[in-house]
């Protein structure tokens, strides 16, 4: 009886991070509009104030706020309208005590003015006289220069996933290009004599290849670039050829199937021959134990042997490869969702478990909070792809635990 | 003093849904691999069992479970090995009492066998005799035919956003194409004489156009297809020309700026002239009151006049246009994150508020839960794009409330 030496998940992650230092850093400069969804590679610092000058946030009259104090519906204040600032113009006048300058939403505020009286609370006469029916405080209805973005401040941090509002921040600052993390180039290989393509008619004994497509989609979904997917028989030479073909063209090679102790197990041999550097021979996790990790220093390629079971392969991809990529980019892990277990779950003492769960909102009638999120375990064997598709996230069960109790709080990592 | 008649957010949503019935339904059939991130338009039903036959989940021996009862480390059971099922083969033998057939992970289980004894707990002699050191229960280490997916079951529901595991489900079933919701085609127009392009040097009085790019990115991020963005001056003819040019080519026209009561307000006039059907003249929400909604029945186009303030424009896009699209697709709204307010916030009684917040995890030392999520308000004027970029989500404050109390539970809609 041969026993595998297995790493803990943390050991495997740490080794992968250390071993893959040699992988090309990967920063690429791209245009603003293409940056949506990319991870920012360097802090972006503003060189300008936004807005560049004080602006009115209302249609109305720029005045000195002090002039309006004590005025109101029944005791209007009176002002002399001395000009108008169109929104595309520079305000080249000064507002003195008792004066008002007509402004629109977005107009530059003239010197001397420190508030805007909304036009809904004012009445302008043909004579140029203005009655104001409300007191305004200093700064009211004005956005100050730099109030949105101050020159010199960091507006997009390294590691941030660039969202629509970040595109807006760049547009506001006239930033045309941004340095983002280069997407690792990924090759996905499935091995197994039993695998048929999705387009083939199934012969007895054959099943369809799920892993190639799930892993390619997982890689794409987290921002990696999938260059090629292929399927090879459980033949040492063919596996070796497929891996060698991909070496110089890939940052990461995902090879699934063939990493259990089956009699046709060539993944480990091939990885060892090529890299002389297989550093993880199994991870103490359920599902996902038969995971191999190697780094080939010559080509700078991560070689990952993932489990053959689809759910296990997808989860290990997330827990190890995606985690490595996000850490490397300095990206914050997405905030998990606190939830309470909807039922008891048992787990293997001695190795960590990754339990897929569905989330559901439950209205409570008592207590301070009115809503709670429940995590409902998705019970399935590690081969089940539908179970994973049904899950909203997963819960990690510590290796020192024998399970989770109904009502216990857990942190759910989301799968979306 | 003219007062706008405003709709509530719910009224505006309901009107938009009703009015836009005439918009072409929009289902498109695409290949499996391209479907990642699309919304499923019709329930997908499995025509096959996955796996199609019972398979071993371990390397070992297919036996009758009953034969192993009472056996163990010190009292092995003995079996006669009668064959071997390679993983790509059909199992054409039958396992009788006292017999064992060698199987690999993934092998078809032969008739008569109902469990797999792991090879780690077995010893095979050259004679073909096998000693087994463990009892296995019926079904152990076997995945049954249809255990992952049963023929006839719905595997991807209408409205589901297709994730990596769903691609795997389709691959497992040999499904090559899927009907997904057609992405609405969107034209984004910004109006304002004060707007400069991000590539221009700013002249006094000018600010850069943020809305065009934020709205295009928001539309793209929720799966819409942005055909064109443009910027036009506050000129009725130019606005009309831009809208007319886009009518037949767009499902949705987003026009931002020019929907407040400023003196150069042509959006409403243009929408009215074109569609004769402006049904929402403002929404009782902060920010985002100056929102216009129209539907042009002739071209089947939604005309949305969004606020000029970037944060307001982006939030109204999400609350109204994105919401309409998701509802139309039958998509479930993403689960909000329950959180507690980190501080008191006041709001306008009488209209609903949309408050951007950051989320943070806080460890508690007492009580049953150990972790709580706090929502920290991002205080900003509606013009601030950076504030929106800093937020993780937003909280809706009911119009009957005067604010939120520190410690109060809220549901945060995520911005990612």
List per-block mean pLDDT (blocks of 10 residues) for chain B, which spans 416 residues.
Answer: 75 97 87 96 96 92 97 96 92 97 93 97 95 97 94 97 97 96 96 88 90 97 96 92 97 82 75 96 93 95 94 96 95 90 90 95 71 91 86 95 94 92
- Please answer whether residues A286 and A347 qualify as being in contact, where contact means their C-beta atoms are separated by less than 8 angstroms: yes
Chain A positions touching B88 (Cβ under 8 A) are: 192-194, 205-206
Q: How far apart are the first and last CA of chain B?
A: 40
Q: Which CATH number fits domain A337-414: 2.40.40.20, 3.10.20.30, 2.40.340.10, 3.40.640.10?
A: 2.40.340.10
List the single residue in A with minimal CA-CA distance to B174: A198
Q: Quick check: A140 and A63 in contact, CB under 8 A?
A: no
pTM above threshold 0.90: yes
Question: How far is Cα A290 from Cα A270, in angstroms, rounded to an integer?
Answer: 16
In degrees and rounded to multiples of 5, residue A290 shows phi and psi of: -75, 70
The Cα B101–Cα B110 span in angstroms is: 8
- The pLDDT value recorded for residue B405 is 96
Q: What is the pLDDT of residues A351-380, one digit of tens each?
A: 999 999 999 999 876 555 678 899 999 987
pLDDT of the residue at A4: 60
Greatest extent of chain B over all pairs of C-alpha atoms, in Å: 102
CB–CB contact B200 A174 (8 Å)? yes
Q: What are phi and psi of B165, to 5 degrees?
A: -70, -30
Half-sphere exposure in the Cβ direction for B86 (13 Å, CA)? 9
- pLDDT over 70 at A264, yes or no: no
Whether the predicted pLDDT of A7 surpasses 50: yes
Place of tokens 């963005």: B229
The fold for domain B9-26+183-328 equals Molybdenum Cofactor Biosythetic Enzyme; Chain A (3.40.980)
Instruction: Please give the pLDDT value at position B2.
Output: 45
- Superfamily of chain region B28-50+148-181: Molybdopterin biosynthesis moea protein, domain 2 (3.90.105.10)
Does any CB of chain A come closer than 8 Å to the CB of residue B93? no
Alpha helices (runs of H) in B356-408, residue ranges in sequence order: 385-390
Within 10 angstroms of residue B311's Cβ, the number of other Cβ atoms is 29
Domain B55-143 carries which CATH code? 2.170.190.11
Q: What's the burial of B276, exposed, middle or buried (CB within 10 Å: 0-12/13-18/19+)?
A: exposed
Q: What is the pLDDT of residues A158-183, one digit of tens each?
A: 999 999 999 999 999 999 999 999 99
Give the number of other CB atoms < 10 A from CB of residue A226.
22
Contact at CB, B202 and A90, closer than 8 angstroms: no
Q: What is the pLDDT of residue A55?
A: 93
Note whether A33 contacts B217, CB cutoff 8 Å: yes
Q: Is B117 helix (H, G, I), strand (E, B) or coil?
A: strand
Q: φ and ψ at A264, to 5 degrees? A: -105, 40
User: What is the predicted pLDDT for the residue at A199?
Assistant: 87
Compute CA distances B37 → A289, A321, B221, whole Å.
30, 21, 10
pLDDT at B384: 86
The answer to whether the CB of B277 falls within 8 A of the CB of B16 is no
The predicted-structure confidence for A279-321, as pLDDT tens digits, reads as follows 999 999 999 988 999 999 999 999 999 998 899 999 999 999 9
The reply to whether residue B172 touches residue A310, judged by beta carbons under 8 angstroms, is yes
Closest chain B residue by Cα to residue A216: B164
- Nearest-angstrom CA–CA distance, B75 and A196: 42
How many other C-beta atoms are found inside a 10 Å radius of the C-beta of residue B297? 14
Contact yes or no for B205 and A89 at CB 8 A: yes
Count of CA atoms in the C-beta half-sphere (13 A) of A275: 28
Q: What is the CATH number of domain A9-20+184-328?
A: 3.40.980.10
Cβ–Cβ contact B174 with A under 8 A: yes
What are the residues whose beta carbons fall under 8 Å from the beta carbon of B162, sequence distance 6 or more?
A: B35, B36, B37, B38, B39, B40, B156, B178, B180
B55 vs A contacts (CB less than 8 Å): 207, 383
User: Residues 261-320, chain A: which have Cβ within 8 Å of B?
Assistant: 261-264, 308-310, 314
Q: Summarize the confidence of residues A5-33 as an average pLDDT.
A: 93
Q: Where are the alpha helices (DSSP H) in B56-140?
A: 65-68
Nearest CA distance, A103 vs chain B (angstrom): 9
- A3 pLDDT band, cuts 50/70/90, is very low
Q: Which residues of B touch A389 (CB under 8 A)?
A: 155-156, 163, 165-166, 168-169
Tell me the mean pLDDT in the region A112-129: 96
In chain A, what percentage of residues exceed pLDDT 70?
A: 95
- Identify the residue whose tokens are 């937003």: B394
Indicate the pLDDT class of residue A269, thresholds 50, 70 and 90.
Answer: very high
Backbone angles phi, psi at A335, to 5 degrees: -60, 125
Q: Does A186 touch chain B (CB under 8 A)?
A: no
Q: Please report, for chain B, the start and end positions of each structural domain, with discontinuous segments joined by +.
A: 9-26+183-328, 28-50+148-181, 55-143, 337-414
| A216 interfacial to chain B (CB closer than 8 Å) | yes
Average pLDDT of chain A to the nearest whole number: 92
Give the contacts of B301 (CB within 8 A, at least 6 positions apart).
Answer: B23, B246, B247, B248, B250, B251, B252, B253, B295
Please provide the size of chain A in residues: 416
Distance CA B27, CA A227 (A): 29
Rg from Cα positions in chain A: 31
Task: List the one residue out of B349, B390, B215, B247 whose CA is nearest residue A171.
Answer: B215
The CA distances from residue B341 to A412, B247, B311, B356, B374, in Å, are 21, 44, 21, 12, 6
- Rg of chain B in Å (alpha carbons): 31
- Sort out which chain B residues have CB atoms less than 8 A from A267's CB and list them: none
- Establish whether the linkage from the previous residue to B287 is cis, with ω within 30° of 0: yes
B42 token code pair: 């019709």
The alpha carbon of B12 is separated from its chain's Cα centroid by a whole number of angstroms, namely 23
CA distance linking residue A256 with residue A278, whole number of Å: 15
Residue A205, class by beta-carbon neighbours within 10 Å (0-12 exposed, 13-18 middle, 19+ buried)? buried
Chain A residues with beta carbon closer than 8 angstroms to that of B169: 385-386, 389
Q: What is the CATH number of domain A28-50+147-181?
A: 3.90.105.10
Rounded Cα–Cα distance for residues A355 and A129 (Å):
73
In chain A, what residues touch B392 (CB-CB under 8 Å)? Answer: 335
**Residue B272 CB neighbour total at 10 angstroms:** 14
User: How many Cα atoms are found within 13 Å in the side-chain-facing hemisphere of B166?
Assistant: 32
């Amino acid at each position: 009886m041969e026993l595998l030496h297995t790493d803990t998940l943390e050991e495997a992650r740490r080794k992968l991070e250390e071993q893959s230092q040699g992988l090309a850093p990967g920063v690429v400069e791209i245009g603003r509009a293409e940056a949506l969804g990319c991870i920012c590679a360097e802090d972006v610092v503003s060189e300008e104030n936004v807005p560049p000058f004080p602006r009115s946030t209302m249609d109305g009259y720029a005045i000195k706020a002090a002039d309006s104090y004590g005025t109101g519906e029944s005791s209007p204040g009176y002002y002399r309208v001395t000009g108008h600032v169109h929104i595309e113009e520079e305000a080249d006048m000064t507002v003195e005590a008792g004066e008002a300058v007509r402004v629109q939403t977005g107009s530059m505020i003239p010197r001397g003015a420190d508030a805007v009286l909304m036009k809904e609370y004012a009445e302008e006469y043909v004579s140029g006289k203005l009655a104001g029916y409300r007191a305004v405080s200093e700064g009211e209805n004005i956005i100050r220069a730099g109030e949105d973005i101050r020159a010199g401040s960091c507006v997009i941090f390294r590691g941030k996933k660039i969202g629509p509002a970040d595109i807006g921040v760049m547009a506001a600052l006239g930033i045309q290009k941004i340095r983002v993390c280069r997407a690792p180039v990924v090759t996905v290989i499935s091995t197994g004599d039993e695998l048929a393509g999705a387009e083939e008619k199934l012969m007895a004994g054959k099943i369809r290849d799920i892993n190639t497509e799930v892993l390619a989609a997982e890689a794409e979904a987290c921002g990696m670039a999938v260059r090629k997917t292929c399927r090879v028989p459980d033949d040492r030479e063919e596996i070796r050829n497929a891996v060698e073909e991909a070496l110089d063209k890939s940052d990461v090679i995902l090879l699934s199937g063939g990493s259990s102790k089956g009699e046709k197990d060539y993944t480990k041999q091939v990885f060892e021959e090529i890299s002389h550097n297989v550093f993880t021979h199994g991870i103490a996790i359920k599902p996902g134990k038969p995971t191999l990790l190697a780094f080939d220093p010559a080509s700078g390629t991560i070689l990952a042997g993932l489990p053959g079971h689809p759910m296990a392969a997808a989860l290990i991809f997330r827990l190890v490869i995606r985690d490595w990529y996000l850490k490397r980019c300095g990206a914050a892990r997405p905030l998990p969702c606190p939830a309470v277990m909807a039922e008891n779950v048992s787990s293997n003492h001695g190795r960590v478990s990754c339990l897929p769960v569905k989330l559901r909102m439950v209205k409570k009638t008592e207590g301070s909070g009115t809503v709670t999120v429940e995590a409902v375990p998705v019970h399935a064997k590690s081969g089940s792809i539908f179970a994973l598709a049904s899950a909203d996230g997963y819960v990690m069960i510590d290796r020192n635990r024998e399970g989770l109790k109904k009502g216990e709080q857990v942190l759910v990592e989301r799968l979306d």
